[in-house]
């Protein structure tokens, strides 16, 4: 039995997230269907992160076990020839039997992209969040720094989250500008459902306030989702990389 690790890139616009759902088109289901066509056997693929509807990935990781002796390069080429064009297998490699895409991960990094100018973009409408108001990037980055470390992120957890433990350790949280684009990047050992989008929405609410950091600390201490800002839309979010 071989254990195959896949690195996957996808545009999540047309999918109801990563995880298989009844009566919904998902990325996981699309890849499993493609694997079954190639190997002629039922496949079960495990993903490192459960991206929500409309969220993209540049470095999603998944693994599956198979008795097929198809060479790795052939797996990659066959999958890319079978999958829809908005899902691409970037790499395929054989890993030890105990490797698990989700539980073996040390950290995950998400990036949120904002188009920050006076007019929107027709070409980038599915991958960036158009925000016309000026963003105080320095203030936003200062607020982000206060989110680094092991903390209770209950205030940024979407209702209905399956994760019982709200404690996450963030290794990096920053904001910067490149031309018309403002980026938020967060690396952590784990994420609550909707956490990144809620954090970005909250920081955008506080970025130009002189007491923004104090307000952010109060939001963290409250441990109530209602105290934080409105979540930004999913299409600006991308799962950037997984570390093992």
Structure tokens at 78: 């066959």
Pairing status of strand 87-95 against strand 149-152: unpaired
Pairing status of strand 237-243 against strand 129-130: unpaired
The three-state secondary structure class of 237 is strand
Same fold for the pair 2-95 and 107-243: yes
Average pLDDT over residues 129-135: 97
CB proximity list for 241: less than 8 A, separation 6 or greater: 58, 59, 108, 109
Residue 158: what pLDDT? 86
Pairing status of strand 107-115 against strand 181-188: antiparallel
**Cβ atoms of 220 and 151 closer than 8 Å:** yes
Domain ranges of the chain: 2-95, 107-243
Top-tier CATH class for 2-95: alpha beta
Other beta carbons within 10 Å of 25: 12
CATH of region 107-243:
3.30.70.660
The three-state secondary structure class of 29 is helix
Active site residue 91: no
Active-site pick, 52, 86, 98, 180: 52
Instruction: List pLDDT tens digits, range 75-124.
Output: 999 999 999 999 999 999 999 999 999 999 999 999 999 999 999 999 99
Gap between the Cα atoms of 150 and 169, Å rounded: 4
Instruction: List pLDDT tens digits, range 4-31.
Output: 999 999 999 999 999 999 999 999 999 9
pTM of the predicted protein model: 0.94
């Amino acid at each position: 039995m071989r254990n195959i690790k896949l690195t996957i890139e996808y545009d999540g616009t047309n999918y109801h997230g990563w995880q298989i759902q009844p009566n919904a088109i998902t990325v996981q289901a699309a890849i499993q269907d493609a694997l079954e066509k190639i190997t002629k056997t039922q496949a079960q693929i495990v993903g490192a992160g459960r991206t929500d509807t409309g969220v993209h990935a540049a470095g999603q990781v998944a693994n599956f076990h198979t008795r097929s002796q198809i060479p790795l390069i052939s797996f990659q080429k066959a999958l890319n020839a079978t999958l829809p064009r908005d899902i691409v297998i970037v790499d395929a490699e054989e890993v030890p039997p105990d490797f698990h895409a989700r539980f073996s991960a040390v950290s995950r990094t998400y990036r949120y992209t904002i188009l920050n100018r006076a007019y929107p973009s027709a070409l980038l409408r599915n991958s960036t969040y158009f925000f016309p108001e000026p963003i105080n990037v320095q203030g936003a980055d200062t607020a982000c720094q206060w989110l680094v470390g092991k903390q209770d992120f209950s205030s940024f957890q979407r209702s209905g989250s399956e994760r019982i433990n709200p404690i996450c350790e963030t290794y990096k949280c920053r904001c910067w500008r490149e031309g018309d684009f403002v980026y938020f990047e967060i690396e952590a050992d784990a994420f609550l459902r909707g956490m990144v989008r809620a954090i970005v929405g909250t920081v955008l609410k506080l970025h130009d306030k002189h007491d923004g950091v104090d307000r952010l600390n109060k939001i963290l201490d409250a441990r109530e989702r209602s105290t934080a800002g409105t979540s930004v839309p999913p299409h600006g979010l991308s799962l950037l990389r997984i570390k093992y």
